[in-house]
Structure 1
């Protein structure tokens, strides 16, 4: 699975990609939400996100 505008992801995927624990992965997701780079997916369960498409 890759990151992209058409694929959602969660904290565990970020952990696997970065090779980190839950806390840094959560901090990164929180920061990306603050910068409005990603948004929560509705209907996919809690903690699922997708990148905003700039076009």
Structure 2
């Protein structure tokens, strides 16, 4: 899967910041969770509308 299929930027959403397609979750937020020690399982349990390809 190409990352560009999952990460988008839209001038009408979140001031054109990069986000996960279909959500209002910024890529920086996901990266921050990894920095704080979250793993993929915890993220997917906490945000059930994400899929593994989003991470």
Task: Tell me the TM-score normalised to structure 1 length.
Answer: 0.30
Higher helix share: 2
Task: Tell me the TM-score normalised to structure 2 length.
Answer: 0.30
Higher strand share: 1
